[in-house]
Amino acid sequence: MIRAGASGPDAYRESGDNHFYNLEYDQAIADYTKLVQQKPNDPIGYNDLASAKLYKIMLRQGLLDSNAFGKDNRFLRNRRPQGDPAEKRQVIDTLERGRSAAQALLARDSHDKAALYALCANYGLRATYEFTLDKAWVAALRSGSKARTYCDQVKKVDPSFTDAYLVLGVYEYAAGSLPMAAKMFGAIGGIHGSKKKGFEYITRVAKEGNYERNSARVVLALLYRREKRPLEAAQVLEGLTADYPRNYLFGIEMASDYADASQPDRAVGVLKTLLAKADLNPASYRLLPREAVERKIQSCRQSFQIAAAQ
C-alpha cells in the first residue's frame, strides 16, 4: 500500500516495506523491482529486493519461526533445506548487483557512507543465506565479519548513521554472550563484546533507524525472549502487530511470550484473534498453521486451568 502523498522510488520502498513485514513477499518483490528500475545506481534497493526473495524462500521452508532455531539445536542437526535452485540463484544474483553498485559508488568516494552501509547490509544478507539455506557455517561467519567491518567503517565516517548500529549491536551481543573460555581466547584475537552495549545499539536502531528500524524491533523481541524477559518481548511484538496486522508470525511469537510469562489467558486471546483474522481474510493467512495454533490454544487453556486450580 502506497501512502497518500508518497511518490517515485520512496513510494515503492514504503509499499515494499509494508508488504515485506506483512509476509506478502510477492508484492514486496514487485515494489522493490520497480524501486531498482527507478534507481538502478542505488545499492540499497538491491538489498531490499534480495531480502524479499530470500525471506520468501525462508517462510516457505519454515525458517522464520524462532522455534526452528531453538535450544535443542534442531536446525543444526537437520539436513540442508531443499529449494528451487533458480530462486536461490536469484537471491545471489541480486546481491551481486547490489554489491557492484555499492563498489561503483566507493570508487568515486571511498567515504560514501550510504555505499558502505549498503555493503554492510549486503554481506549480512549473504551470511543469512549461507547460514539458513546452504548451512555453510564458515562462509556465513566470513560474510558476517565483512558486514561488521563495513558497518564499523560507517560508524567512523558518520557516528550518527543509526542503521549501521544494528549489525554492530548483534555482534556485540553475540560476542558478549560467549562462555568465559571463548571470551579469553577471543580477547587474545582482538574479539570483544558486550551484551549491554549490544542491547543499547539495537534499541537505538529500533527507535531511530531509517532502513533497519523494523529489523531491529524484530531482533529486540528475539533477544528479550532469549534473556527470559517475555513480557518485554511481547510488548515489542504488540507494536509490530499493530503496524503489520497480517504478519501472523508476530502473533504466534507473542502468544509464546505470554505463555512463557505465565499468562496463558492472554496467549489464548492472541491466538484466537489470529484465527478470526484468518477466517475474515483467508488469502493473507493461507500459510497460517491453523492446526498448530489450535493445539497451542488447547495447551494454553490447560496451563490456565492448572494455574487456576493451584
Over residues 237-282, the pLDDT tens digits come to 999 999 999 999 999 999 999 999 999 999 999 999 999 999 999 9
Query: Is residue 285 in some structural domain?
Result: yes
The grid coordinates listed for 204 are 537505538
Per-residue HEC secondary structure of 186-223 comes to HHHCCCCCCHHHHHHHHHHHHHHCCCCHHHHHHHHHHH
> What would the pLDDT profile of 67-93 be if each residue is shown by its tens digit?
544 444 454 445 655 668 999 999 999
> Domain range for residue 309?
238-310
Predicted confidence at residue 147, as pLDDT, reads 96
Give a yes or no: residue 148 inside a domain: no
- Mean pLDDT value across residues 101-105: 98
Whole-prediction pTM? 0.87
- 286 falls within a domain: yes
Round to whole Å and give the CA distance between 41 and 217: 29
Mean pLDDT of 155-170: 97
pLDDT band at 182 (very low <50, low <70, confident <90, very high): very low
What is the rounded CA–CA span in Å between residue 122 and residue 43? 9
How many structural domains are present in the chain? 1
pLDDT at 8: 83
Q: Is the model more confident about 63 or about 79?
A: 63
Q: Quick check: is 204 in a domain?
A: no
Bigger pLDDT: 197 vs 194: 197
Does a structural domain hold residue 297? yes
* pLDDT of the residue at 308: 52
Three cell numbers written together for 291 = 492446526
Using the predicted structure, report yes or no on whether residue 2 has a pLDDT greater than 50.
no
| Average confidence score pLDDT of the chain | 88
Rounded to 10 deg, the angle between the 113-129 and 43-60 helix axes is 20
Q: Is residue 210 part of a domain?
A: no
- Does residue 114 lie within any of the structural domains? no
Confidence check: pLDDT of 45 > 60: yes
Residue 246 lies in a domain: yes
